[in-house]
Amino acid sequence: MPRIGMQPIRRKALIEATIDEIGARGSLDVTVARIARRAGVSSALAHHYFGNKEQIFLAAMRQTLSEYGAEVRAGLKAARTPRERVEAIVRAGFSEGHFRSAVLAAWLNFYVLARTSRQAERLLVVYHRRIVANLAQALRPLAGTAASDIAETLAAVIDGVYLREGLGQGTPDGAAAARRVLAVLDAELTARGGPGTQDKDRTET
């Protein structure tokens, strides 16, 4: 059975299995054996490829983060106006691909992991910075010097909505979630720049 060049295939399968298993289990309390079984391999192979459990988790985290990043980039590419750029970033977080119970559980658990693992923490911090930077850049034309501050707030709202919506058992409503975040954006812009600014932005867009 052993064919050559399996490494990337197995790694990918194990990473997906990890996210799914965390999602299914709802906690980091998943065993390597179950992850491996889900991926259709032995637990020994999982260790062979990743070294230890933490590395498996970190790989899953990197994967989730980079998928999210890709979604953000794809959204940004399609956006034409500053406003659209901000919306793209916000919507990426609540897309069907990511705003699922399993992925949400994974995210939540990565936050927990970050409290224990230095590497996990670093990943999360980097991701945080990147989101804020993306938001700030998109907001600059709309909010000027307030861009950074609004970006920071929006990032927090995204996380908060994500967290709260995810608590429910049912399928989370991504559209509603995104709407709530964008409402905060609108409010901030209106309040800071006055209606004029906002209107101007909208017109521009």
Partner DNA sequence: AATGAATGAGGATTCATTCAT
Partner DNA sequence: GATGAATGAATCCTCATTCAT
Catalog residues that contact DNA under the rule CB under 7 A: 1-7, 10, 30-33, 41-45, 47-48, 51-54
Residue with structure tokens 């399996």? 6
Gap between the Cα atoms of 141 and 148, Å rounded: 12
Task: Please choose which of a copy of itself, DNA, none residue 175 contacts, taking the beta carbon within 5 to 8 angstroms, the exact cut-off set by kind.
Answer: none
Residue 124 interacts with a copy of itself (CB under 8 A)?
Answer: yes
**CA angle at 47 for the pair 63 and 102, rounded to the nearest 5°:** 35
Residue 158 interacts with a copy of itself (CB under 8 A)?
Answer: yes
Residue 190 interacts with a copy of itself (CB under 8 A)?
Answer: yes
Residues 6 or more apart from 202 whose CB is under 8 A from it? 83
Min dist CB 2 to a copy of itself, Å, is 11
Helix residue ranges, H only, the chain: 7-25, 32-39, 43-50, 53-78, 82-93, 101-116, 118-143, 147-167, 174-204
Other C-beta atoms lying within 10 Å of the C-beta of residue 142? 26
Task: Please choose which of a copy of itself, DNA, none residue 120 contacts, taking the beta carbon within 5 to 8 angstroms, the exact cut-off set by kind.
Answer: none
Min dist CB 42 to a copy of itself, Å, is 13
Which residues form the interface with a copy of itself (CB under 8 A)? 25-29, 105, 108-109, 111-116, 121, 124-125, 128, 149, 152-153, 155-164, 167, 169, 180, 183-184, 186-188, 190-192
